[in-house]
Amino acid sequence: MPSPTNNAPAPVAESAAPAAAATPAAPAAAPAAPVAAVDPDIKTILIAEDDPFISRMYQIKLESAGFRVVLKNNGRDAFEAVKSEHPNLAVLDINMPELSGLEVLSALQNDGFDFAQMPVIVLTNSSELSDRNTAHSYGAEYLVKAELTPREVLNIISEKLGLPTT
C-alpha cells in the first residue's frame, strides 16, 4: 500500500512552487519595456525652454512627428541632459534660469563637446546681432520664434537630421 506522504503532499508542493514562480515573472517583464521604448531609429530632441506653453507646444509637435522629446526648463539641466541623454539635436532658448542658452553652449565647449556630433538650434525671442553671432560661433543655427511657425521649426529640425520635411 502506498504511504500517505507519497501521494498527496508531493504533487501539491510541486504545483505550488511553479505558481509562486509565475507571479514574480510578470513584474520582471515590466522593466524591459523602457529599454525597448528607446528605439535607435527614433531621434531624440532636447528642448531647453523655460516657458511651459512654448515647450509643451514644441513637445506635442515633435512627438506627433515621431521624435522622442526631452524637456528641460533651465540651462543647467539642459547642459546635463546633453551629456546624459545624448540627443540627436538640441533646441535652446537664450533667456533661461541658471544658464542661458549661450552659456550652455560655452559650458559644452569648455567641457570638450564636439558640436559636429549634435546640431544645435538657438530658438529665441532675441533678435540681437551679438546673440546671433555668438550662436553662430558655436555652429548653432539662430532662429527667432516670432518669425517662424512650429511647422517651419519642425521642418528645420528634420532637415538638420537629414529627414524628410512636411
Q: Which three cell numbers stand for residue 140?
A: 548653432
Question: What is residue 71's predicted lDDT score, i.e. its pLDDT?
Answer: 96
In the CATH scheme, what is the homologous superfamily, with its name and number, of domain 42-160? Answer: Response regulator (3.40.50.2300)
Residue 74 · residue 101 · CB < 8 Å? no
As a whole number, mean pLDDT of residues 116-141 equals 93
Residue 110 exposed, middle or buried by CB count within 10 Å (0-12, 13-18, 19+)? exposed
Q: Report pLDDT for 136.
A: 94
Environment class of 48 (CB within 10 Å of its CB; exposed 0-12, middle 13-18, buried 19+): buried
pTM recorded for the entire structure: 0.74
pLDDT tens per residue across span 17-54: 444 444 444 444 333 333 334 566 889 999 999 999 99
Strand partners, 46: 70, 90
Q: CA 13 to CA 67: how far, in whole Å?
A: 51
Interatomic CA distance for residues 142 and 120, integer angstroms? 9
Please write the tens of the pLDDT for every residue from 69-111. 999 999 999 999 999 999 999 999 999 999 999 999 999 999 9
